Structure 1
Amino acid sequence: MGQPYLHEHVTCVAAPATWLSGPSGQLRGGADGLYVDDRRVLSRLVVTVDGAEPVPVQVTRTGAASARFAAVLPGLGDDGPDPTVTLVRDRRTSPRGGTETLTLTNLSHATLAVEIEIVAGTDFATMGAVKDGHPSVSTVEVVGVGTDAADANGMRVAVTADPPPDQPPGAGPMRWLVTVEPRASWTATVRFTRADAAPITRSAAPAGLRVTADDRRLDALVRASVDDLAALRHADGDDDYYTAGSPWYLTLFGRDSLWAARLALPLGTGVAAGTLRALARRQGTKHDPDTDEEPGKILHEVRPVDAAHWLPPVYYGTVDATALFVSTAADAYRWGLPAAEVEPLLPHVERALMWLAGHDGFIAYRSSTKGLANHGWKDSGDGIQHADGRIARGPLALAEVQAYAYRAFLDGAWLLESFGRDGAAHWRDRASALAARFRAAFWCPGGYPAVALDGDGAQVDSLTSNIGHLLGTGLLSSEESARVAGHLAELRSPFGIRTIAPSSGGYNFLSYHLGSVWPHDTAIALLGLVRDGHRAEAAEVIRALLAAGERFDARLPELFGGDDAPTPYPASCRPQAWAAAAGPALVTALLGLDVDAPSGRLTLDPLSPSPVGAYQVRGLRIAGGSLDVTVTAAGAATVHNDPFKA
C-alpha cells in the first residue's frame, strides 16, 4: 500500500491530537482516525440509525479543531420526497482526544422510535505506519463506556457517553433506544480519550492578528492562518512551539517549527522563544552516526518513543536548522523578546555557530543509510536534481543553506555584540568569506545560482525556488538580487512559486519537490523580495498566494500543484504550520514592516499601490505591545498606536 491520500479528508486539530475522516464523518480505514501523540486512538467509528447509515449532505469546518457533519435518513419519517429526519454530528478535537455530539432531529408528523448504534474500534497504529500504508491489521474493539481498551505497550483508550448507552458496560457496540416526538430532537455526546498520558492544558494564544481589506481574500487567509497556528500550538513543558503539520508531522521539528515561528512573529515572540528553548535543550552534544547528532547541531524532528517508526525518536538529519536557530533568536530579539529571555540562549547560539564553522568550505551534508537521503527542506530522495533530471550525488552543499549560514554569522555577531560577548568580528569575517566563496562557485552560466554543489564540486544546475531563500539575507549584491528576482518570476505560477522550472528534466507539477508550489517557500521568497526592494514582483507573489488561498477555502495546504489550477497534492498536510504562517508573513510584506525593538525603532514602508486595496491591520504584537495600522489603496499608512509605549 502507498501513502494514504488526504485531499478529501476533513481535518480537526488540537495539537498533539488530530481527527481525520471523509465528508461523511465515518471512520473506515486508510488514514481515517483520531490520533494523539502519533498513535491512533480510533481507527473505526461508524454511526447507524435503525441499521442504516445516514446519507451525508453537508460538512462544515466550524474551527481549526471542529467540524459539523449533516446527514439525512430518507428511510425514516414522513412519506414523500422531502427528508424529515436528520442527524448532525458535531466533532471537536482536544489535545488528549475528542468528542462527538450526535443530534437526531425529527421533523416528521409522527413519533420516531429508533435504535442508534456506534461501532468504535482502534488498532493503536503509529502515525508512521499509517503514513507508509502499513498499519496494524488487528483491531481492538472499543466497547465503551466503563471499559478501556489497551495495547501491550500500555496505551489506553477510554470512552464515556452522556447519556450512557442502554446496554451494560462492555457489552459490545454502544446502542441507544431513542424515542423522539415530532418537532423534537435527541442528543448524546461521546468522548474518546487517550487515557495513559497526563492531561494537557493548552496555553492561551495571544489576541489574534486581524485584517480587514478591500480584497476580502486577505481577511479570510489571515483569519484561517491564525486559527490553524493556534490549533497546531503545543508545549514542551512550559515552552510553546508550532507542531509541523497534521497529520504526518504533528510534533516538534527543527526547520519547520523555526520557520513557522519566525514567519509568525507578527503574532508575538512567545512561540519563537518556546521553540528556541525546546530545541536548545536537545542541541547536539556528541557524534552519533545512528541519529546524525553532532555537537552544536539542532535536531530535525522528535517523536514519542512508542510512535517512532523508521527514524530514531530524536533525529538530527537536517543541515539547515542550526543556522535557522541562530537567526530565529536574532529575529525574536528584534521583535521584542526580552533580553532576559535571549541571554540564556546565547551559549546555544555560540555552539550553533561553531557547528556551522566546523564545515570545510561550504556547509554540506552526506546522506545517511539510516536516515533521510537529503537534509535540506527538499528532503525527498529525488528532491535535488540537475537540469537534465539526474539525481545529484553528495555530499551536497545547498544554495539556501549557505545563505542561512551567512545570515546566521551576521545575526550571531549582532547578538553577541548586543550582550557584550566576544567574537562578533570573527563571525562577520566568516560571513564575508562565505559570500566570496559562494559568488565564485554557485553562479551558473544561465545567470542564476545553482541549487547545490555536488560531491565533485560541480554545479547542480536546475533552476529552483531555493534561490528565493537567498533574497533578503544580504548574501547577494543588488545586481545579483535583481537577477534572482527575475528568475523567480520565471518560476511563478498563477498560485505561487514553483519548486523547479517547467523546463527541467524532472519537472512534474504534482511532484513533492519537483514542480509543486509550497506556500512557505513562496512566503520566504516574498519577504526577501520586499527586503531587497523588488516591490512589483512582491505584489504579484501576494496576488498569487491570495488566489491559491481562495481555491483552498483560505486554509493553505503544505503544497499543491500550481499550474493552470491549484491541484491538491493528495497526501499533503493541511493544516501545516509554515503554510499557515504564510498569512502573517503576507501582512509583514504588505506593510514593508521592519522591527528593531532593542533600538525602539519600527519602520513601515507599505507596498504602493497596494495589491489588496485599502486595508486595516489590528493586533500586530511587537515588544509586548500592539500595533494597529491603516493603509490606503495608494499605500499611505496611518499608525494608530505605539507598541513600545504599551
Structure 2
Amino acid sequence: MADLQPLLHDLAIALCAPTVVLSGRDGQVRAGGTQGLLHGDLRLLSEAVVTVNGHEPEAIGSDEPAADRARFTGLLRRLGGPGPDPTAWLRRDRVVTATGMSEELSLVSTDGVPRHCVVEVVLAADFAPIDEIKAGGRRSPLVPDGPRWTADSAVAEVTAEGAEVVFDGSRVRLRWAVTGSATVRWSLRVSDERALFVPGGVRLPRPEVHADDRRLTALLDRALGDLDGLLLAEREHPGDAFAGAGAPWFLTLFGRDSLWAARLALPLSTGLAGGTLRTLARAQGTRHDPMTGEAPGKILHERRRDPFQALSASLPAEYYGTVDATALWVCLLHDAWRWGLAEAEVRDLLPTLRFALDWITGAADSDGDGFAEYRDESGRGLANQGWKDSGDAVRFFDGTQAKPPIALAEVQAYQHEAVVRAVALLTALGEPCGELAEWASALRSRFRDRFWVSTSDGHYPALALDGDKRPVDALTSNIGHLLGTGLLSDGESSSLGALLLDSSLASGFGLRTMSASTAGYSPLSYHCGSIWPHDTAIVVRGLQRSGQATRAASLATQLLSAAPAFGYRLPELFAGHGPAETSAPLPYPASCRPQAWSAAAAVSLLVAFLGLDVDVPARTVTLAPPRPSPVGALRVRGLPLASGTLDVSIDASGAVTDLRLPPGFSLLPEQSGE
C-alpha cells in the first residue's frame, strides 16, 4: 500500500516564516506525519517529547494565542496529592521565530508538598524535505554532533540552560532535576545557507475595528496576525515582502497565491503589493522552456529550495506552470495604483507590464482560437494550471474529466480585466496603449459566443473549453470570478449572482467549488465540491464590484459563520457540507493552516460590509454598505489611505453615521445596486 499524505486538521501550528512548528494538541512533537519544525522546506526537528518522572503529561487544553505562539496544559496526576482534584500540572509555552523556536516548561504544584522530579525533553531531527513529508514518507533521524544536527547546508542547534544533556543514539535528552513548582527552558536555533527566503520584515497595519457581530473582529485579528507570520522576502531583496502561500506545504513564493493575497489585502497595505509585484517581476520569464513552463513575459508559478515531487508531477525548483498569474500580476499593479502605490513605483514596473501584456495577447493563446489555454508540455508538470490545479478539477456536468488543452472561463476574465485595467493605467500615465482596447472587446464577443451553456442548473458560462473546444458544462464557483472583470454585461452579472447564491453552490458556510447537483461533486474533493475561503472572498468582491451589495454581504456572512469552527484561522479549504448536514463545517484534513489568501479573505469581508471602494489618483472614496448591515453597527478607525487614514462608522441599518477622510479626498454619491 502506498504511503498516505499525513493529515493536519488536528495539529497545533505556530509560525514565523520561514519557520513553522507543528505538534499534537498535547504539545508533543512526535516522529512521523507532518509534526516537527520546518524551515525553508526542510524539517530540522522531528521530535520533541516532554516527560515528568518518565510519564507524559495528560493533555487538558491547548491554545494558539498568536500566529507565532502555542500553549499547552497537561496534568501530572502521579505527582499530585491523594484527593480527586489535580494538584500538579505542566504548562508548555512555545514561541516560534524566523530562526527557530523556544519553549518554557512550567511545573505547577498546589498541594504544598515539595516533591522532587525530573523533567526531560527528548529531541530528534531527520532533515526530511517537504515533498517527502507530504507524500507520507519516513526517514531515520540523524545522529547529532553534540547538541546539534548538520546536513547539507542546514544546522539545528539546541541550548538548554541548567540541563543535563545526554546523547542517546540519534536522540538528544535534556534533563532537569527540580523540586516543587519550577520553570525550565530550552530552545532550538536553525539556519540554512541554501534557503531562498528570509522574514518579510514588516507588519501589516492594524486598523481598529469594532462590530456588533464580534466574529468579524475575531476573524480579522487572527487573520492579520497570520498574514504577518507568512511574510517572506528574497534574501537579496529583504525590503520586498510577499506572502508565502501557506503552511506547511506551500510556505514559499507562489505567483497566483501571493498575488491574490496582496490584492485582497490592498485596503491595508500597498507595500505588500509593491513587494509582491517586484519579486515576481524579477522572475518574469524570458525564454521558452517546456520543462519549466517558462515563456517570455510569463509570471512564475512557484519557487522552492529544491525540485518538488508531487503525486503525479515532478516540478522543477523554479516552475512557471500557471495560466493565470501573468494576468493577475497586471490586475494587482492596476489595483495597487488605485489604492495609492506611488507613481514612481508603478512606472518602474511598466516594462514588466508591457512584457506581460505581450504574453497575454499573444503566446497565452497557443492554438490561435482566441482564448488562453494551457497544456503541460513537459509531461511531468501540473496537468491543470488554473487555481484549481488538481488532476481531476476540470469536469463536465456528468462527471467526466476534460482533456487538454483547457481554456478556463475565469482565465479569460482575468485576461480581459488585465488588458482593460492596463489601458486605464497607461492612459492615466500618458503612455500609449496600442490596440489593447480592441483586443478586449473582441474577447468579450468571443466569450459570449462560445462559453455560455444551459443545463438543469441554469444558463451560465461553462467552466472551460476542452481540447476539442467543447464547453465543459459543470456549474462551478469559477463563474463568480468573472464578476467585476468587465467581461459580462450588467444583466449577465445579475443572473450569475442569483445562481451563485443558490443553495447548490452557496452551502451556508461559503461557496462550494462545484455545484452539489453535478455528478462530479464530492464535499471532500480538493476542487470539486469543497469550500475555499479565498474563492468565496473573490466572489464576494466580484458581487460588490458588480453592484450586488446584498448578495455580496449574504455570501460574506456565510464565510463568517464558518470561522468559529476553525478558531477564526480559516484554513486553505474545508469540506463542502452545509448546515443541513453538519452543525459546524468539517475540515479538509490535509489543508494548510494558515493560508495567505484565506487570511486575506477576512479583509475582503470587511470591505464588503463597508461597501468600500477607493481611487487614490482621483482622490475619491465610495461607501455603499449593504442595508441592513449584516454585522450590525460597524466602526473602523485608522484604515490606511494615501498618506492618511480613513475613519468610518455605520449603524445597524447600514447608514453611514461618521466619516473622516484624509485631506483632499471626497466622497462619491452612493450608487444604486441590486
> What interval of TM-score do these two structures reach, taking the shorter chain for normalisation?
over 0.9
Alpha-carbon separation, structure 1, partners of 2:200 and 2:166:
35
Larger displacement relative to structure 2 (493-502 or 306-315)? 306-315
Partner of 1:342: 346
Between the aligned partners of 1:87 and 1:202, the Cα distance in structure 2 is 34
Equivalent position amino acid for 1:179 in 2: V
Task: Describe the shift of the 1:632–1:528 C-alpha distance in structure 2 as closer, same or farther (beyond 3 A).
Answer: same
Counterpart for residue 668 of structure 2: none
SS at the partner of 1:561? Answer: coil
Aligned residue identity for 1:616: R
In 1: Cα distance, 2:33 partner to 2:169 partner: 27
3-state SS of paired residue (1:643)? coil
- Residue 488 (structure 1) aligned with residue 490 (structure 2): no
For residue 164 of structure 2, give the secondary structure of its aligned residue in structure 1.
Answer: coil
Choose from 185, 188, 197 the match for 1:188: 185
One-letter amino acid matched to 2:66: G
Deviations 1:203-255 (A, max 9, x none): 23143133211111111111111111111111122200011011110011000
**1:67-93: CA deviation from partner (whole Å, max 9, x where unpaired):** 101111111132222222211111111
The answer to whether 1:437 aligns with 2:440 is no
Partner of 1:445, secondary structure, is strand
Counterpart secondary structure, 1:162 = coil
Alpha-carbon distance in structure 2 between the residues aligned to 1:537 and 1:55: 47
**Kept after mapping to 2: 8 A contact 1:111/1:179:** no
Paired residue type of 2:287? K
**Is 1:629–2:632 an aligned residue pair?**
no
2:469 is aligned with what amino acid? G
Q: Is contact 1:117-1:173 (8 Å) kept?
A: no
Counterpart-to-counterpart distance in 2, 1:396 and 1:168: 56
Greater shift after overlay, 115-124 or 333-342? 115-124
2:147 maps to a residue whose letter is: T
1:513 counterpart letter in structure 2: H
Q: Say if 1:39 and 1:460 are closer, same or farther in 2 by CA, change over 3 A.
A: same
Q: Deviations over 1:250-302 (max 9, x none)?
A: 01100000000000111110111000000000000000011000000001111
Match for residue 333 of structure 2 among 321, 329, 334: 329
Counterpart AA for 1:191: L
The one of 381, 384, 401 equivalent to 2:391 is 381
Alignment deviations for residues 416-470 of structure 1 (CA, whole Å, 9 cap, x no partner): 22222212x5111111111110000000024100000011111000000000000
Separation (CA, whole Å) in 1 of partners of 2:61 and 2:144: 28
Q: 1:219 to 1:590 in 2, by over 3 A?
A: same
The answer to whether structure 1 residue 513 and structure 2 residue 515 are counterparts is: no
CA distance in 2, matches of 1:373, 1:622: 41
Query: Could you report, residue by residue, the CA deviation over 1:125-168 in whole angstroms, capped at 9, with x for unpaired residues?
Result: 11111111124x1211457xx532112x2221111122343659
Map of 1:245 onto structure 2: 246
**Correspondence for 1:561:** 575
Change (3 A) 1:462 1:72: same
Name the structure 2 match of 1:150: 150
Q: Is residue 34 from structure 1 mapped to residue 37 from structure 2 by the alignment?
A: yes
Q: 1:332-386 CA distances to partner (integer Å, 9 max, x unpaired)?
A: 0000000011111111011111101112210100134111010000000000000
Alignment of 1:611 onto 2:635: no
Q: Report the CA distance between 1:539 and its aligned residue.
A: 2.2
Q: In 2 relative to 1, CA 106–279 (structure 1 residues): closer, same or farther, beyond 3 Å? A: same
Residue pair 1:617, 1:629 contacting (<8 A) in 2 also:
yes
2:55 to 52, 57, 78: 52
Amino acid at match of 2:640: R
1:461 maps to 2:464: no
Q: Amino acid of the residue matched to residue 193 of structure 1?
A: V
**Does the aligned pair in 2 maintain the 1:33–1:42 contact within 8 Å?**
yes
Judging changes above 3 Å, is the alpha-carbon distance between structure 1 residues 173 and 615 closer, same or farther for their aligned structure 2 residues? Answer: same
Paired residue secondary structure (1:567): coil
Which of 90, 94, 106 is matched with 2:109 structurally?
106
Write the distance in 2 (CA, Å) between the matches of 1:365 and 1:644.
Answer: 47
Cα distance in structure 1, aligned partners of 2:273 and 2:52 = 48
From 34, 43, 47, the counterpart of 2:46:
43
Aligned partners of 2:167 and 2:173 also within 8 Å = no
Deviation at 1:171, TM superposition (A): 11
Q: How does 1:182-581 map to 2 (within 5 A)?
A: 184-194=181-191, 196=193, 200=198, 202-236=200-234, 237=237, 238-305=239-306, 310-358=314-362, 359=365, 360=368, 361-368=370-377, 369-423=379-433, 425-446=434-455, 447-490=459-502, 491-564=505-578, 565=582, 566-581=585-600
Letter in 2 for 1:562: G
Shift of 1:200: 4.7
Query: 2: distance between equivalents of 1:175 and 1:232?
Result: 31
Percent of aligned pairs with the same residue?
Answer: 48
2:33 paired with 1:24 = no
Q: CA deviation at 1:21?
A: 0.9
Letter in 2 for 1:314: E
Q: Which residue of 2 aligns with 1:66?
A: 69
How many pairs align?
A: 639
Label 1:511 to 1:167 Cα distance change in 2 as closer, same or farther (>3 A): closer
CA distance in 1, matches of 2:6, 2:408: 30
Greater shift, 61-70 or 299-308, is seen at: 299-308
- Farther off after superposition, 13-22 or 109-118: 109-118
Distance 2:102 2:475 in 1: 48
RMSD: 1.9
What is the distance in 2 between the residues matched to 1:69 and 1:645?
A: 51
So what's the TM-score if we normalise by structure 2?
0.92
Q: 1:268·1:621 contact (CA, 8 Å) conserved in 2? A: yes
Does the 8 Å contact 1:263/1:578 carry over to 2? yes
Contact 2:76 2:90 in 1 (8 A): yes
Query: Secondary structure of the equivalent of 2:93?
Result: strand
Question: CA 1:200 to 1:287, structure 2 compared with 1: closer, same or farther past 3 Å?
Answer: closer
Q: Distance in 2 between matches of 1:523 and 1:265?
A: 14
Shift of 1:537: 1.6
Report the TM-score when normalising by structure 1: 0.96
